[in-house]
Structure 1
Amino acid sequence: MRDLSALLGGRAKPLLGLDISSSAVKMVELAEAGANQYRLERYAIEPLPRDAVTDGNIASLEVVADSIRKAWKRLGTNTRQVALALPAPAVITKKIALPAGLRELDMEIAVESEANQYIPFAIEEVNLDYQVLGPMAGSEDEVEVMIAASRKEKVQDRVAAAESAGLKAVVMDVESFAAQAAFELIRRRLPESGKGKIIAVIDVGAHSMKVAILRDDVVLYSREQPFGGSQLTQDIMRAYGMSMEEAETAKRSGSLPDNFESELLRPFMDSLGLEVSRALQFFFTSTQYNQVDLVVLSGGVAVIPGIDQIVASRTQVSTQIANPFVGMALSQRVRPKNLAAEAPALMVACGLALRRFDA
């Protein structure tokens, strides 16, 4: 039954975190550096050609596998085991209550029976996994169980891409869970570990903005809206008559005309600030909460210098850029300056690499 390769659990050593996003392949390898301490051994980011991954789905297996292969070679590691993740929309998750003390076989039967109520597909068409989260609040006789299910082809596509690159997929996670695991490294470094604070973690990638608002370990609210770095790329294409590939290259290398910052980049940053402000307003109007204590920006767009100041000004909420590697030991292979610029895009890959240390 637990054929999602330990979607919510499992342990594998050694292990690489492999994040396949719509714009790039990202890899992270961590090592232990003391009790509950980690060292960043190496990381790599390999851009993906346009439309190789669309809406979270691998559209061109060979192209994605080639980028994974290039990233792995740049990484310079002998490790071939990887932890992968599915986009949250590709996974159905549900928390249920089950009697405490069930044997594993009885638990599996109960989970499958419950899953049939929530999964709109035949059970044989999905990979299904579960994890016991702990006792139910207010009930000594029940435990809370997280069920996770995804269509088999969604899992198989990512596994096939890794295997085509010569790697072995041993863990399949969910991107939102992996990002939350990496965020825990950031939360630990906040005053009083951010206890009781309401924190909005906002991931802005190429095509979408993912919002997760948390208090302690609980997700209070989540949503995804269509806004991302591809809009800036399209602006560059229109303004300077470039192809998509030329615009992406120029954007990454900083080789754009002098008027780029004032006429294109600043309006884009202002638009992002507005989108974040709207996302917080949606949170306020759809929940009983009326404040957010901190905004944490992650994703490829978060690497734009000064974007945190723009968002803080628009939202009137303290804002910082996500870097799960702050305070982490770094190997000699890692250049701190490059890492500081690229860390916001490595949240999911970092969270997946942390699966190496699962108990």
Structure 2
Amino acid sequence: MFSNRSSVGLDIGERRIKIVQVKKTRKGFRVSAYGCIETPPGAMENGVITDPVALGEQLGKLVRELLLQQKKSVAAVPGHQVYTRIMVMPQMKLQELRQAALFQASSFLPIDIEEVTSDIFPVREYEDEEGKKTEVFFIAVRKTETDNLFTCCQHAGLKLTRVEIGATALARVYSDYFQENQGKVIAVFNIGANRSCISVYSEGILSFLRFMPFGAAQFYPDENNGTGIHGDIDLKAERNHVLLHEIGSELMRSTGYYEIQNPGKSIDLTIICGGGSRIKGIEEELASRLNHPVELGRLNHNLILPNMDGQPLLADFRHDYPIALGLALRGVL
């Protein structure tokens, strides 16, 4: 018998908190509730939760406003203090790989391995003169960050069942690209309000991640709250042209790091999302600097979006909700 499961995705940013509830149906994954609310002042600092109680109380207002039927939720660690590394390990079972990778990580992590929560993503398997090997993408975050997420959700009346990073959520939302472009390397550039992130996927598997200390709010110096990023700015204006140059340079450095780590591979397509993707003409400007196509991300074709006046609310979801959507999907797949 078909199971109508549902799940809540929670994306916490420095400016806004976003929630999406997805229900699994026979026709696909239907968005049954969604919404956002401003992040309370002082609850986050430099992308890290500093007051999980205040954050949870604010989140609880949104939970009650949306009348969420499902309390089980999946959230992304909001901070940029994510430690990553490509590792090569002898082939072994997945759980053994996790343990071996964490042990190896003790040689480069700046904190004790007892203070982190970690996971791995196998990238590829191969064999050389030393035997069978597995290349894995290692990710670790501080346990204090995940603990703060649990505290926040508890005060909001949500039951946090899984924690991951935004990059893995985006892989689910953009899975159509990986099916359509097999053998190609695809990057996702998430332009947030204060910070941005580029994640690179080879054969649909996360293989590179880098955070950048700039966001769309820099294009709007006169808007203090930064919650209403719009597209009506002149990218040709001198100040904005300089900002675009800096963004393009950071992206090129990131793609260069990826290519150094992965000889013979280069990025074929960059997808953009986040509030900064609303800026009109930013795809063309970035494409001219990166020398490959750049486009606003298309959502997974199995997602069924709510309607307004008979039309799907596509724009908001493509710009602002990809991470929350991907997190919600994690709970129903």
TM-score by length of structure 2 reads: 0.78
Counterpart code for 2:200 = I
> In terms of mean alpha carbon deviation, does 13-22 or 264-273 score higher?
264-273
Checking the alignment, whether the CA contact within 8 Å between 1:41 and 1:333 is kept in structure 2 is no
Checking the alignment, whether the CA contact within 8 Å between 1:162 and 1:169 is kept in structure 2 is yes
Q: How many residues align?
A: 322
Say yes or no: does 1:121 pair with 2:96.
Answer: no
Say yes or no: does 1:347 pair with 2:332.
Answer: no
Partner of 1:27: 19
Matched ranges for 1:1-359 at <5 A: 14-34=6-26, 37-87=28-78, 89-94=80-85, 95-98=87-90, 100=92, 110=100, 113-128=103-118, 130=119, 133=122, 136-138=125-127, 148-188=139-179, 193-219=180-206, 221-233=208-220, 235-237=221-223, 244-245=224-225, 248=226, 251=228, 261-262=233-234, 270-271=241-242, 273-283=244-254, 285-286=256-257, 287=259, 292-325=267-300, 328-331=303-306, 336=311, 338-358=313-333
Q: Alpha-carbon deviation of 1:196?
A: 2.6
Q: Alpha-carbon deviation of 1:131?
A: 5.3
Q: Secondary structure at the match of 2:292?
A: coil
Closer/same/farther in 2, CA of residues 177 and 271 from structure 1, 3 Å limit: farther
Counterpart code for 2:183 = G
Q: Alpha-carbon deviation of 1:312?
A: 3.5
Q: Alpha-carbon deviation of 1:230?
A: 2.0
Counterpart code for 1:227 = F
Aligned-partner Cα distance in 1 for 2:36–2:151: 20
The structure whose residues are more often helix, as a share, is: 1
Q: Alpha-carbon deviation of 1:178?
A: 1.9
Q: Alpha-carbon deviation of 1:26?
A: 1.0
**Of the two, which has the highest radius of gyration?**
1
> In terms of mean alpha carbon deviation, does 74-83 or 158-167 score higher?
74-83
Checking the alignment, whether the CA contact within 8 Å between 2:8 and 2:20 is kept in structure 1 is yes
Q: Alpha-carbon deviation of 1:349?
A: 1.1
Closer/same/farther in 2, CA of residues 107 and 199 from structure 1, 3 Å limit: closer
TM-score by length of structure 1 reads: 0.74
| Structure 1 vs Structure 2 CA RMSD | 3.6
Q: Secondary structure at the match of 1:28?
A: strand
Aligned-partner Cα distance in 1 for 2:289–2:135: 39
What are structure 1's unaligned runs of at least 5 residues? Answer: 1-12, 238-243, 255-259
